[in-house]
Amino acid sequence: MKPLKDILYKVTINAVVGSTSVTVNKIEFDSRKVESNDVFIALVGTISDGHDYISKAINDGAKAIICQVIPNNLVDNVTYIEVENSNKALAFMAANYYDNPSENLKLVGTTGTNGKTTVSSLLYQLFKRAGYKVGLLSTVKIMVDDKEYKATHTTPDSLTINKYLQQMNDEGVEFCFMEVSSHGIHQSRTEGLQFSGGIFTNLSHDHLDYHNSFAEYRDVKKAFFDGLPNTAFCLVNTDDKNGLVMMQNTNAKKCTYALKTYADYRAQILENQFGGLLLKLNDNEVWTKLIGNFNAYNLLAIYATSELLGLENEESLRYISELESVSGRFEYFVSKEKITAIVDYAHTPDALKNVLETINSIRTKNEELITVVGCGGDRDVDKRPKMGHIASALSTKVIFTSDNPRTEEPQSIIDAIEAGVAPQNFKKIVSILDRKQAIRSACQMAQPNDIILIAGKGHENYQEINGKRNDFDDYKIVGELLKQLQK
């Protein structure tokens, strides 16, 4: 039990009905989880409004209500707090409730359209190899040093973030690397956290079903850097013109990285092949197991962050050479028949373009590049024709298929993707609704030395159809199918 007034520290309060001296059990924003003496925070969401569940929360035992509008019918012995923004209130209250755990470690957030998972996960790997206790909050998983937990969102809700950060405090974790999504920033999930650094990777078309425009999407990302303290660093990719925008109003130490332009941290690609990358990072050469121009940017960001967090350059380079690729990020194997199968999370036009250009820069052009790709349902429809155009222009054969159709009709999604295919590329494409059958067809088409790219789902081990998640793992399925065809 904690005094309500203690966990309201830094919350902007408009009005109070009742006493803030009451003690409360825990914080909940899901009315179904409310128990005796809890605080219920009424969040205004895109689908439902928590204010509609205030009565239910009180009936289930809530002692205090945090809301943006105090109800007309008040209940005796219940404290009502009217706040300007209930999402921000949740963030500050969650941090206070868990004793502000971010202040006791070095928390680094990575944001951008592509590369968040790779940069955060590889920094976790690197600092673990360097002998530190490390935390990770990512799309793929949550790590509290060596303990792994399932991730449900790119940026979890504020209660979940602070709960895991407190566990990290208890385990003696020194560094934590965290993906920061535009949704998370917009919904104030990172408010109340003390960041030691922020990394900007790049910005391209994504989430425009949620944000009203690209400018709004960009400005939401920028808000994260605007909020960094002067004790933190702000590391941005200046080969992306939006990098300079991110730095405009930050109080943090400004640092830049780039491959094409002058920056504090520079990289040059000396060799790029399926075996890995030979890079020059500033003046130091290093061989890495990762592949492609996009990973050169990711590794440069990791190298820069390591130095900014106090690691010696020689030590960082040694660990960079040992880093393993992240699940579902350009994850590949070569079959006995010499067919290369690549699984990648590329689900935006820019990410798909990067992956296909990387493959084309490495392959000899004597082999086929067969791409299997789709787009998610109930999401940004504008990117679908762009994905179709890129896939058909940069592949020798393309199979359009289902991704996570959710509640949409899969064929209508594929029709939208096909709308972007240029006339000269029609002969390259085929559409197969069933994703497993599409992967099977790609495997049957492939000859020795050909390359299969399965894009869009990466690490995901499910396919979501009409509200149900069915087991589905691209990497596992393509491996099994190629083995069957070899018999």
Mean pLDDT of 67-95: 97
**Quick one: 46 exposed, middle or buried, by C-beta within 10 A (0-12, 13-18, 19+)?**
exposed
- Give 351-373 pLDDT, tens digit per residue: 999 999 999 999 988 999 999 99
- CA–CA gap between residue 398 and residue 441 (Å, rounded): 11
- CA–CA gap between residue 317 and residue 403 (Å, rounded): 37
Specify the pairing of strand 175-179 against strand 134-137: parallel
Q: What is the pLDDT of residue 153?
A: 79
Is residue 91 within 8 A of residue 28, CB to CB? The reply is no
Q: What is the pLDDT of residue 275?
A: 87
Helix axes 158-170, 86-97, angle to 10 degrees: 20
pLDDT at residue 395 is higher than 60 = yes
Residue 9, number of CB atoms within 10 A of its CB: 12
Q: What is the pLDDT of residue 207?
A: 46
Q: What is the pLDDT of residue 210?
A: 53
Fill in the amino acid letter for 2.
K
Q: What is the pLDDT of residue 214?
A: 80
- CA–CA gap between residue 374 and residue 106 (Å, rounded): 38
Q: What is the pLDDT of residue 206?
A: 53
The pLDDT-based confidence of 158 (bands split at 50, 70, 90) is very high
- Give 177-190 pLDDT, tens digit per residue: 999 998 899 999 99
Q: What is the pLDDT of residue 122?
A: 97
**With the CA atoms of 293, 352, 372 and 155 taken in that order, what torsion angle do they form, in degrees rounded to the nearest 10?**
100
- Give 204-249 pLDDT, tens digit per residue: 855 455 546 888 889 999 999 999 999 999 999 999 999 999 999 9
- Give 256-296 pLDDT, tens digit per residue: 999 999 999 999 999 999 889 999 999 999 999 999 899 99
Q: Which residue in 199, 118, 126 sits closest to 459, CA to CA?
A: 118
Query: Which pTM value belongs to this model?
Result: 0.88
Mean pLDDT of 318-326: 95
Is residue 187 within 8 A of residue 158, CB to CB? The reply is no
The residue assigned the tokens 């509609």 is: 52
Q: What is the pLDDT of residue 347?
A: 92
pLDDT at residue 478 is higher than 50 = yes
CB neighbour list of residue 273: distance below 8 Å, 6 or more residues apart: 291, 362
Token pair of 449, please? Answer: 């030395």
Fill in the amino acid letter for 251.
N
Q: What is the pLDDT of residue 117?
A: 93
Mean pLDDT of 307-319: 97
Q: What is the pLDDT of residue 66?
A: 98
pLDDT at residue 406 is higher than 70 = yes
pLDDT at residue 192 is higher than 50 = yes
The percentage of residues in the chain with a pLDDT greater than 70, rounded to a whole number, is: 98
Is residue 266 within 8 A of residue 295, CB to CB? The reply is no
Q: What is the pLDDT of residue 69?
A: 96
Q: What is the pLDDT of residue 212?
A: 60
The percentage of residues in the chain with a pLDDT greater than 90, rounded to a whole number, is: 89
- Give 415-449 pLDDT, tens digit per residue: 999 999 999 999 999 999 999 999 999 999 999 99
Is residue 192 within 8 A of residue 11, CB to CB? The reply is no
Residue 51, number of CB atoms within 10 A of its CB: 17
Average pLDDT, whole number, for the chain?
A: 95
**C-alpha separations of 276 from 206, 296, 358 in Å:** 28, 10, 12
Q: What is the pLDDT of residue 162?
A: 98
